[in-house]
């Protein structure tokens, strides 16, 4: 295709509202257009990228015996009531009434639709295992869309659902899918994507993994061990704290702590170590606003996901008023109202002589020893891991925390959906069971943007050849020069004949600098420059977008050279 016919604009200036580079470059390069909050249109350049990603995903899903289907975007509420998610998911799930006042939802994921599709098909054990997938638009009403195509409300997603008659069979298939996902990311040019153990959240199930592209703009915190291969999402990372006993237990003492509203204030005022404090973190249940208090060592933070999973329902940070049975800033275990739910983090286990609130305005206790004061208590893992924390695998204090963009996820769902939706199969002996499910997702647009974020320079994206909008960017520097134009035209048609995808810039009256800036923004891996000057020596300039190669190639050899270079680039991702 000729660049002058490409429907897209390119801009020199970084748009003011773009926080991350990939977003800025994809706007500047004419890839995407803002339609509404978290909603974008794709220009032809991006659509070429997303189609290539979709093709790679299809091939890998077909290779693990996936069968492509299509579920609807709009579904009746009744389907989501069968699984219970119509009520359990908050406002991310769009609900509306159709013209007949029937309640409908917009699909943000399709477990219900998958079970509905195969509920009759899967009635005999002989049909198992099987996997179905789709590539389809989804809408999730995110509270805070951000970062261009990284966190949007409407997106294209490949979602797959597998069905099994045993946990072993699920695990075997899960491993195949795990590998297929690695293939997808390698072939898409980001082999550095890592898997981390994750929390399953609202999907149900137990074991799950996220595929993370480590990148500082990511909104997930990843815990990695620098001494072994342990990796986990912060939400799922186990926090290990070993409190060492001194053997000396102080008396519990109530002390005045005027104007000390935070644990930091109190410890500063009392000149005690913040690690020797018991901090109260206050939440409320979404359903009835009942208070949930999590006690934790002062130098740790609560991991809301862990706490939510423990409580078993949605919670939000609490707001305490004068009428409530707890005193903001002065909450402690001793004498706390029995109208609130109380949980203790593992970091407090064995911790001695702590500072804590006295449940009385202006007062704290010192010398808190939880089991002495409270009797036997149960401790739960509720804390976020700290930098330098203890690795749950190798036991070394070698944990580090990085940011990552989640580009895919896989879940062992278990029977959550098949049970709630009454899907059963009959085994060899005629006994009915609920099939065990796995589900597997990749966001297409997010992967495109993530690759751009991971592979770019100041001038534009550096697309891997497998998902680049074109394979070769051909510039004819002086199309008014007849010889140059003829040779460039010829290269263009010859490359196309050889199955090479070419974007051809033969715009008249455009300076070389502008042509190159546009080429940088399109990020095509192989660049050819035809210019009257080089043609004096019968040469074409070849370079790669990643600057690893710059060569002068004889006009007669150029087609073979490019075809070989292209094949080599693909081979590197194979």
Task: List interacting residues with its own copies (CB under 8 A).
Answer: 1, 5-9, 30, 33, 35-37, 39-44, 46-48, 50-51, 65, 67-76, 79, 91-92, 94-96, 98-100, 102, 104, 106, 113, 116-118, 120-121, 127, 130, 132, 134, 136-137, 139, 141, 143, 153-154, 156
Q: How many residues does the chain have?
A: 574
240 within 8 A of 390, measured Cβ to Cβ: yes
What is the SS3 assignment for 154? strand
Min. distance of Cβ 14 from its own copies in angstroms?
A: 17
Q: How far is CA 6 from CA 1, 9, 45, 504, in A?
A: 7, 9, 8, 10
Beta bridge partners of 124: 426
Residues near 450 by Cβ (< 8 Å), separated by ≥ 6? 22, 150, 190, 213, 215, 405, 407
Would you say 105 or 225 has its CB closer to its own copies?
Answer: 105
Cα atoms in the 13 Å half-sphere on the side-chain side of 267: 17
Q: How far is CA 230 from CA 136, 238, 390, 396, 482, in A?
A: 34, 11, 11, 11, 62
Q: DSSP letter string over 391-452?
A: PTTT--S-EEEEEEEEEEEEEEEETHHHHHTT--EE-TTS-EEPPEEEEEEEEHHHHHHHHH
Residues near 558 by Cβ (< 8 Å), separated by ≥ 6? 491, 528, 540, 542
Question: From CA 419, how far away is CA 129, in angstroms rounded?
Answer: 17
Min. distance of Cβ 493 from its own copies in angstroms?
A: 16
25 within 8 A of 456, measured Cβ to Cβ: yes
Min. distance of Cβ 44 from its own copies in angstroms?
A: 4
Q: Tokens standing for 353?
A: 């002589």
Would you say 448 or 565 has its CB closer to its own copies?
Answer: 448
What sign has the CA pseudo-torsion 78, 84, 86, 92? negative
Question: Exposed (0-12), middle (13-18) or buried (19+): which is 388, by Cβ within 10 Å?
Answer: exposed
Min. distance of Cβ 111 from its own copies in angstroms?
A: 13
Min. distance of Cβ 295 from its own copies in angstroms?
A: 33
Would you say 137 or 533 has its CB closer to its own copies?
Answer: 137
Would you say 152 or 213 has its CB closer to its own copies?
Answer: 152
Question: Listing from the earlier edge strand, what are the strands of the sheet with 341-345?
Answer: 315-317, 278-285, 291-297, 341-345, 379-380
Would you say 131 or 558 has its CB closer to its own copies?
Answer: 131
CA 115 from centre of chain: 25
Min. distance of Cβ 255 from its own copies in angstroms?
A: 46
Q: DSSP letter string over 264-293?
A: HHHHHHHT--GGGBEEEEEEEETTT--EEE
Q: How far is CA 19 from CA 23, 150, 378, in A?
A: 7, 11, 44
Min. distance of Cβ 120 from its own copies in angstroms?
A: 6
Min. distance of Cβ 130 from its own copies in angstroms?
A: 5
Would you say 41 or 226 has its CB closer to its own copies?
Answer: 41
Helix 558-573, helix 482-497: angle, nearest 10: 40
Cβ neighbours of 288 (radius 10 Å): 7
Min. distance of Cβ 40 from its own copies in angstroms?
A: 7
Min. distance of Cβ 82 from its own copies in angstroms?
A: 12
Min. distance of Cβ 72 from its own copies in angstroms?
A: 5
Would you say 44 or 532 has its CB closer to its own copies?
Answer: 44
Question: From CA 201, how far away is CA 416, in angstroms rounded?
Answer: 13
Would you say 266 or 449 has its CB closer to its own copies?
Answer: 449
Min. distance of Cβ 352 from its own copies in angstroms?
A: 47
Would you say 66 or 367 has its CB closer to its own copies?
Answer: 66
Would you say 117 or 555 has its CB closer to its own copies?
Answer: 117
Min. distance of Cβ 167 from its own copies in angstroms?
A: 22
Would you say 88 or 226 has its CB closer to its own copies?
Answer: 88
What is the SS3 assignment for 296? strand
Pairing relationship of beta strands 95-97 and 103-106 according to DSSP bridges = antiparallel
Min. distance of Cβ 43 from its own copies in angstroms?
A: 6
Would you say 137 or 339 has its CB closer to its own copies?
Answer: 137
Would you say 444 or 476 has its CB closer to its own copies?
Answer: 444
Would you say 54 or 304 has its CB closer to its own copies?
Answer: 54
Residues near 526 by Cβ (< 8 Å), separated by ≥ 6? 465, 471, 472, 473, 542, 543, 544, 545, 562, 565, 566, 569
228 within 8 A of 393, measured Cβ to Cβ: yes
């Amino acid at each position: 295709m000729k660049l002058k016919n490409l429907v897209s604009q390119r801009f020199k200036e970084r748009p003011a509202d773009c926080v991350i580079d990939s977003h800025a470059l994809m706007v500047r390069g004419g890839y995407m257009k803002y339609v509404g909050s978290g909603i974008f249109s794709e220009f032809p350049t991006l659509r070429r990228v997303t189609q290539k990603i979709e093709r790679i995903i299809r091939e890998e899903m077909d290779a693990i015996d996936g069968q492509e289907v299509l579920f609807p975007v709009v579904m009746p509420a009744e389907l989501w009531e069968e699984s219970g998610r119509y009520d359990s998911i908050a406002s991310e799930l769009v609900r509306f009434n159709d013209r007949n006042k029937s309640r409908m939802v917009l699909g943000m994921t399709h477990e219900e639709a998958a079970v509905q599709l195969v509920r009759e098909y899967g009635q005999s054990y002989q049909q198992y295992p099987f996997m179905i997938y789709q590539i389809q638009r989804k809408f999730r009403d995110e509270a805070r869309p951000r970062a261009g195509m990284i966190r949007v409300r409407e997106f294209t997603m490949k979602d797959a659902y597998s069905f099994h008659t045993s946990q072993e069979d699920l695990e075997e298939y899960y491993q195949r899918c795990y590998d297929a996902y690695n293939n997808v990311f390698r072939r898409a040019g980001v082999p550095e994507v890592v898997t981390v153990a994750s929390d399953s959240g609202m999907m149900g199930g137990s074991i799950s993994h996220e595929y993370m592209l480590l990148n500082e703009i990511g909104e997930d915190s990843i815990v990695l061990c620098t001494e072994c291969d342990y990796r986990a999402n912060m939400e799922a990372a186990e926090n290990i704290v070993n409190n060492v006993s001194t053997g000396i237990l102080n008396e519990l003492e109530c002390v005045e702590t005027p104007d000390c509203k935070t644990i930091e204030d109190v410890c500063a005022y009392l000149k005690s170590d913040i690690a020797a404090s018991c901090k109260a973190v206050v939440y409320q249940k979404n359903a009835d606003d009942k208070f949930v208090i999590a006690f934790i060592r002062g130098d740790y933070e609560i991991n809301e996901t862990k706490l939510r999973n423990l409580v078993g329902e949605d919670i939000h940070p609490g707001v305490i008023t004068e009428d409530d049975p707890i005193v903001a800033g002065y909450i402690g275990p001793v004498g706390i109202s029995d109208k609130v739910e109380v949980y203790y983090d593992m970091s407090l286990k064995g911790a001695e002589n702590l500072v804590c609130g006295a449940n009385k305005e202006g007062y704290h206790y010192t010398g808190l020893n939880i089991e002495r004061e409270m009797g036997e208590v149960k401790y739960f893992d509720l804390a976020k891991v700290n930098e330098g924390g203890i690795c749950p695998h190798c036991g070394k204090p070698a944990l580090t925390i990085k940011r990552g963009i989640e580009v895919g996820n896989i879940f062992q769902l278990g029977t959550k959906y098949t049970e709630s939706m009454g899907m059963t199969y009959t085994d060899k002996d005629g006994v009915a069971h609920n099939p065990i499910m796995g589900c597997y997702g990749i966001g297409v647009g997010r992967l495109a943007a993530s690759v751009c974020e991971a592979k770019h320079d100041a001038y534009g994206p550096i697309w891997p050849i497998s998902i680049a909008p074109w394979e070769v960017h051909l510039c004819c520097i002086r199309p008014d020069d007849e010889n140059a134009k003829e040779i460039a035209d010829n290269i263009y048609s010859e490359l196309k004949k050889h199955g090479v995808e070419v974007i051809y810039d033969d715009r008249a009256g455009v300076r070389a600098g502008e042509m190159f800036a546009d080429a940088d923004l399109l990020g095509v891996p192989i660049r050819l420059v035809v210019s009257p000057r080089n043609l004096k020596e019968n040469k074409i300039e070849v370079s790669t977008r990643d600057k690893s190669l710059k060569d002068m190639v004889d006009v007669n050899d150029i087609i073979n050279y490019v075809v070989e270079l292209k094949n080599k680039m693909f081979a590197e991702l194979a």
